[in-house]
Amino acid sequence: MRTNWVVRETALRHMSREVVMQLRSEDGSRIARMIEITCQILAMTIADPVYKVYVASLVSACSIYRILTFESSILLTD
């Protein structure tokens, strides 16, 4: 598990960028499922014993949380 930590870290960073881009452009039809899958992945990787993977998981979770709270605040004010 420790031998491919760079791959896990890179995959998390890529996933985070892709999810944020999709959340910004998605029309709402698949957002709930995408968020559910992303949270499942992050739940597993946050427990990773490699520090860099753990940090990448936290950064990804924070990025997704920020965009979700921003989008929610827009929806609530409209």
For the chain, domain boundaries: 2-77
Residue 78 has what pLDDT? 52
Q: Each residue of 5-33: pLDDT tens digit?
A: 888 888 888 888 888 787 777 666 677 77
What are 37-76's pLDDT values in tens digits? 888 888 888 888 889 889 988 988 888 888 878 766 655 5
What is the pLDDT at residue 72?
63
What's the whole-model pTM score?
Answer: 0.67
- Reduce the DSSP state of residue 1 to 3 states and report it: coil
